[in-house]
Amino acid sequence: MDSSTSTFSPERCANLHNQLLAKATEHSPDVQIEQTLSARFLDIAPEFTEVPSLDDLPLYRFLRLVNTTPPASNGGVDLLTPFTYQPDPRTFWTDRVSHEPSFVLLYGQNNGDSPIDGGIYVDILSYQAVWHSGNSPRFPPSDQWLPLEVILQKSLDAWTTGKFYWDAQEATIKVRNWTQHDVEQSIAAFHRLISSIELRMPSDENQVHSHHRLEPLDSQILEPFKISTFAVRFLSTANRPDFPFVAPGIRVFTPLLLDEIYGVEVPDSIRRTHWLGDEEDWPTLILPGVDSVPHNVDQSTNQNINAFDQNWGFGKFTVNRQSGLYIAPDTSNSDLVRLVASSGLCSACEFRSPCRWGPPRDPRLAEVFDHWTSLVEDGTWAVDANGVSTGHDWFTIHTSVAKIAPVV
C-alpha cells in the first residue's frame, strides 16, 4: 500500500459511520440494520468483481463493514446526518464526475437539492475526502482534501455537542442553530484574543501593567433592541476588556455606546424586520467599528464595496450603516459572522477557501476570534494602551490577510 492510502483505515471509518448510523436511528426501535452495501455496490458496478484481490481494495473493505438501513421501495436511502444521506451505490459516479472516475460521491447532500448535486466525495486513489457542492463546477485542489475519518469525526462531534439532535415532533434528525458549546467556544476565543492583546501592551519599566476584565453587558439593557438570541447570550456572558479596541478600528460595546448606536435605529428598519436564519435570528452588530459606511459607496470601482447597497448587498442588514463585526446567521448556524468595514467592504472575514468538511458557510465567531488572535501574536497588528492600534483601513487594504483559512 502506498503512502497516500496508508492514512485511510476502512475499519476506523466504518466504525465512525456505524456510530453515526446508531445516533440517527436510536429513536426508531423497529429500524432494520443491515450490512448489504458491498453487495448493492457490486450489483451497480459488476465490473469490480473482476478486480484482483477485491477484498483488499480499501473502498470495498469499507463498504463491507458499514451498516445501513434498507433502501426504500424506490431505491432511495435514509439520512445518516442532517446534512448527508447514507451511501447509495447508484450515485457513486455521476455526470458531474464522469471526467474524474476516481472520485466517488460517498455521501450525497441533504440541502433541498438533489443528493447527486454534491456532498462528501472520496478519491479512491488518495483516499482523501472533501465536501463539494453542486454549485461549483471545479473540485477543490488536492491540498484541500481531508482524511474521511476527520470528516466523519466532525459529524460525530456534532452529536456530542448537541448540534445534531432528534426532533421527536418531526421524527427526523435535525440541526440546532446554536448550542451552549458554540457560546462557550466563542467566549473562550474572545478571552484568548483579549489576553493576547494585553500581553503586548506597553508597560512602564518600573511598573507592571495590570488589567482587569469588565462585567458582561446586562441582558436587560439588550432587551429593547432586536438582537439575536445567540448574540444576547454572548454579549451577556463574555467579560469585556478595560481597553476599547480588539481589532483595527473595532471596539467593544459599553452600555452608552450600545444606546448611541442601537437607540437611534428606526423600528421598521430592514434589519429589525427580517431575519437571516430562524425567527429571532436578526443580523446583529456585536463589536462596533469607529465609523459608518458613507452613502456614495455605490460609485466605487471595487465590486466588493459597491455591492454594499445593491439588492444582494449586506448594507440593508446593518444598524444605520454602522461598520463592525456582525452576527449574520444562516438557517443552520446562528454564530456566523460578517465584518463590515467602513469602506463598505463586507468580505474581509470570509473564508479563503470553502469549508472542506461540510456545507458551505461563513466563518463562525470563534473562528474569527482565533484568526484575530494570530494576527496580534505574530505582530501583524500593532498594539498600544488602547488595544489594537492598527488603523481600520487595514481590513480594506489587506483583505487577503484578513480572510480566514478553514481550520479543522
Residues 135 and 201 reside in one and the same domain? no
The secondary structure of 245-307 as a DSSP string is EEETTEE---HHHHHHHHTTS-TT-HHHH--SSSTT---EEEEEEEEEPPTTGGG-S-HHHHG
- Closest alpha carbon to 246 in 331, 336, 134, 339: 339
Is 390 domain-assigned? yes
Model pLDDT, residue 208: 56
Residues 144 and 200 reside in one and the same domain? no
C-alpha cell at 61: 473493505
Residues 90 and 192 reside in one and the same domain? no
Residues 131 and 195 reside in one and the same domain? no
Residues 262 and 335 reside in one and the same domain? yes
Residues 142 and 202 reside in one and the same domain? no
Is 5 domain-assigned? no
Is 201 domain-assigned? yes
Is 1 domain-assigned? no
Model pLDDT, residue 275: 78
Model pLDDT, residue 260: 96
> CA-to-CA distance for 355 and 139, rounded, in angstroms?
13
Of 149, 175, 201, which residue is a domain's last?
A: 175
Per DSSP, which regions of 259-342 are E strands? 284-292, 322-327, 337-340
Residues 138 and 205 reside in one and the same domain? no
Model pLDDT, residue 120: 96
SS3 98: coil
Residues 159 and 107 reside in one and the same domain? yes
Distance of CA 266 to the CA centre of its chain: 31
Is 46 domain-assigned? yes
pLDDT tens digit at each of 408 positions of the chain: 343 444 799 999 999 999 999 999 999 889 999 999 999 999 999 999 998 899 999 999 999 999 999 999 888 899 999 999 999 999 998 766 667 788 999 999 997 666 677 899 999 999 999 999 877 778 889 999 999 999 999 999 999 999 999 999 999 999 999 999 999 999 999 999 999 999 999 876 655 567 889 999 999 999 999 999 999 999 999 999 999 999 999 999 999 999 999 999 999 999 998 878 777 889 999 999 999 999 999 899 999 999 999 999 999 999 999 999 999 999 899 999 999 999 999 999 999 988 899 999 999 999 999 999 999 999 999 999 999 999 999 999 999 999 999 888
Of 153, 175, 197, which residue is a domain's last?
A: 175
Of 175, 196, 226, which residue is a domain's last?
A: 175
Residues 247 and 358 reside in one and the same domain? yes
- Closest alpha carbon to 337 in 274, 285, 268: 285
> CA-to-CA distance for 130 and 123, rounded, in angstroms?
9
Is 231 domain-assigned? yes
SS3 145: coil
- Closest alpha carbon to 177 in 279, 284, 283, 314: 279
Expressed as residue numbers, the domain containing 83 is 10-175
Contacts of 169 (CB under 8 A, 6+ apart): none
Is 408 domain-assigned? no
Model pLDDT, residue 138: 84
Residues 235 and 169 reside in one and the same domain? no
Residues 136 and 195 reside in one and the same domain? no
SS3 79: strand
* Element at 269 (helix H, strand E): none
> CA-to-CA distance for 371 and 404, rounded, in angstroms?
7
Model pLDDT, residue 4: 42
- Closest alpha carbon to 246 in 376, 348, 365: 376
- Total domain count, the chain: 2
Model pLDDT, residue 72: 92
Residues 87 and 215 reside in one and the same domain? no
